[in-house]
Amino acid sequence: MVDHANNDEGPSFVIANLPRGRNMWDRDFEVEKIWKTLENDNVLLTACRRFGKTSIMNKMKENPQDDFVCFMFNVQSMKSPHDFVAALYEEICDDGKFVSFIKKAKKITKEFLGRLEKLKISMLGIDLRESKSSDWQDMANKFVNVLSAYDGKLLFLTDELLEFILNISKHHSENEACDFLNWFREIRQSDKLSNIRWLIGGSIGIEHALKKVGAKVHMINDLSIIVLKPFSDKIGREYVEALLKKEGNFSTIPSGIVEKILTTIGSPVPYFLQILIKESLNAMNESGESTLTDEIIEEAYHNNVLGPASKTYFQHYYDRLSEYYDRDEEKIAKHILRETARTGRYSGSQ
Ligand SMILES: Nc1ncnc2c1ncn2[C@@H]1O[C@H](COP(=O)(O)OP(=O)(O)O)[C@@H](O)[C@H]1O
Ligand SMILES: [Mg+2]
């Protein structure tokens, strides 16, 4: 992996893609904090959407520490606990070392391996959809018990847990969603499974959204919560400079431009910074200029970043409102957002 600090090339735009190598800017402090917490705890990494949770999880997976073997899986589109167990199995089977470990494991019989394979097929929607709840729990318990015999530490990076829980509730039942959460808590707490750690990614407000499926807060309150913030001012400034040099091809950056970009965005979130810089450079090129000015940035922000053409950058925030809230809450949230967008503030009186 390439370290941006040692790479003259600097970062490129990776809007809505996973930043890797020189495109993954910093987050060293956060990554270190998560590894430290994982020494004794399981972690819930939470933040607003597009703040960089998945990017951090991926960085950790690509640079494991403390002899952890890491497996990452995104549970967002899964619909049942079966899918979860199958994905766990599939991820592990992608690692050749583990296939031989599993095949040699004492507690595993041929019949059980056959059942696991069937479960994997069920992910493709071919069969087993109708299996009873107790069936997946039995399979899952047997499987994680096998993993407990592994002579080393395992880290499962599980992204988008909340969407998964909402999916179970939608496609099966609230009870099934709660059964899963209870089972998941049990395995996190089990002494026998102390060689396994979980790093779970979830959007902010996960506790509130879980209530929607009748889940209780105790089902996740064993997790150590780490809230991911935007970049610090210093790192945000360095990132803007590096992006301008690389993507704008500037050998020297016009004075005041970095500050203008930072103040226009307000909070140094890498996703927003990239969008504004990209739109500003486009506007500069379209107007035939060779350098950025405050006016170009201002115009790019109001006409392009906030304009209809940029809807795709932000549509997911809007769509989430209907997924996380009930009808009335969704209406209220949209009203507040519309009012704030129109007048710059919300008085709360209407
Ligand atoms: N450390 C980073 N360096 C560069 N870009 C980043 C970084 N973190 C996030 N991004 C940008 O933000 C986008 C969203 O990040 P992501 O990790 O998917 O957020 P989340 O999982 O919180 O929704 C990425 O596609 C990328 O463009
Ligand atoms: Mg994500």
Ordered structural domains, the chain, with CATH: 27-227 (3.40.50.300), 233-306 (1.10.8), 310-343 (no CATH)
Stretch 271-282: mean pLDDT: 97
In short, whether 47's Cβ falls inside 6 Å of ligand 1 is: yes
Residues 321-344: pLDDT tens digits?
777 777 888 888 888 888 887 787
Say what the pLDDT of residue 129 is: 45
pLDDT higher at 265 or 94: 265
**CA 18 to ligand 1: nearest atom:** 25
In short, whether 167's Cβ falls inside 6 Å of ligand 1 is: no
**CA 15 to ligand 1: nearest atom:** 27
Read off the pLDDT band of 3 (50, 70, 90).
Answer: very low
Residue 26, token pair as written in the block: 């910093």
Atom 8 (ligand 1) nearest CA: 52
Residue 122 has pLDDT above 90, yes or no: no
Atom 20 (ligand 1) nearest CA: 50
Say what the pLDDT of residue 90 is: 84
In short, whether 52's Cβ falls inside 6 Å of ligand 1 is: yes
Residue 1 has pLDDT above 70, yes or no: no
For 272, counting Cβ atoms within 10 Å of its Cβ (0-12 exposed, 13-18 middle, 19+ buried), the class is buried
In short, whether 58's Cβ falls inside 6 Å of ligand 1 is: no
Residue 302 has pLDDT above 90, yes or no: yes
Q: Give, for ligand 1, the residue of 271, 274, 319 to mutate: max count of ligand atoms closer than 8 Å to Cβ.
A: 271
**CA 203 to ligand 1: nearest atom:** 22
Residue 167, phi then psi, degrees to nearest 5: -65, -45
Distance (Å, rounded) from C-alpha 272 to C-alpha 137? 42
pLDDT higher at 311 or 52: 52
Say what the pLDDT of residue 128 is: 43
Q: Give, for ligand 1, the residue of 55, 59, 278, 314 to mutate: max count of ligand atoms closer than 8 Å to Cβ.
A: 55
Q: What is the mean pLDDT of the chain?
A: 87
**CA 159 to ligand 1: nearest atom:** 21
Sign for the pseudo-dihedral over CA of 75, 81, 82, 84: positive
In short, whether 54's Cβ falls inside 6 Å of ligand 1 is: yes
Q: Side chain identity at 196, as an amino acid letter?
A: I
Which residues fall within 8 angstroms of residue 16, CB to CB, at 6 or more apart? 271, 313
Name the strand (E) or helix (H) holding 225.
strand 224-227
Atom 23 (ligand 1) nearest CA: 50
Q: Ligand 1 centre and the CA of 105: distance in Å?
A: 39
Distance (Å, rounded) from C-alpha 284 to C-alpha 293? 9
Distance (Å, rounded) from C-alpha 248 to C-alpha 289? 12
Tally Cβ neighbours within 10 Å of residue 350: 7
CB-based burial, 7-31: b 16+ in 10 Å, e otherwise: eeebbebbeeeebeebbbbbbeebb
How many residues are listed for the chain in this entry?
Answer: 350
Q: Ligand 1 centre and the CA of 18: distance in Å?
A: 7
Are 191 and 184 in contact by the 8 Å Cβ rule? The answer is no
In short, whether 27's Cβ falls inside 6 Å of ligand 1 is: yes
Say what the pLDDT of residue 120 is: 63
Tally Cβ neighbours within 10 Å of residue 212: 18
Say what the pLDDT of residue 72 is: 95
Distance (Å, rounded) from C-alpha 7 to C-alpha 26? 13
Residue 286 has pLDDT above 60, yes or no: yes
Q: In Å, what is the CA distance from 186 to each residue of 72, 144, 182, 278?
A: 20, 11, 6, 46
Are 148 and 192 in contact by the 8 Å Cβ rule? The answer is yes
In short, whether 316's Cβ falls inside 6 Å of ligand 1 is: no
Read off the pLDDT band of 306 (50, 70, 90).
Answer: confident
In short, whether 304's Cβ falls inside 6 Å of ligand 1 is: no
In short, whether 239's Cβ falls inside 6 Å of ligand 1 is: no
Residue with tokens 């899952």: 140
What distance lies between CA 158 and its chain's CA centroid?
8
Say what the pLDDT of residue 27 is: 98
DSSP one-letter code for 220: T
> Which of 163-177, 199-213, 255-269 bottoms out in mean pLDDT, i.e. has the lowest?
199-213
Residues 84-114: pLDDT tens digits?
988 888 888 888 778 777 777 766 677 777 7
pLDDT higher at 10 or 115: 10
Say what the pLDDT of residue 319 is: 78
**CA 51 to ligand 1: nearest atom:** 22
Distance (Å, rounded) from C-alpha 40 to C-alpha 330? 38
Q: Ligand 2 centre and the CA of 51: distance in Å?
A: 8
Q: Ligand 1 centre and the CA of 17: distance in Å?
A: 7
Atom 1 (ligand 1) nearest CA: 25
- Catalogue the long-range contacts made by 13-18 (C-beta closer than 8 Å, 24 or more residues apart): 13/243, 13/247, 13/274, 13/277, 13/278, 14/274, 15/271, 15/274, 15/275, 15/278, 15/313, 16/271, 16/313, 18/54, 18/55, 18/58
List for the chain the helix, strand, coil content (%; round to 5): 60, 10, 35
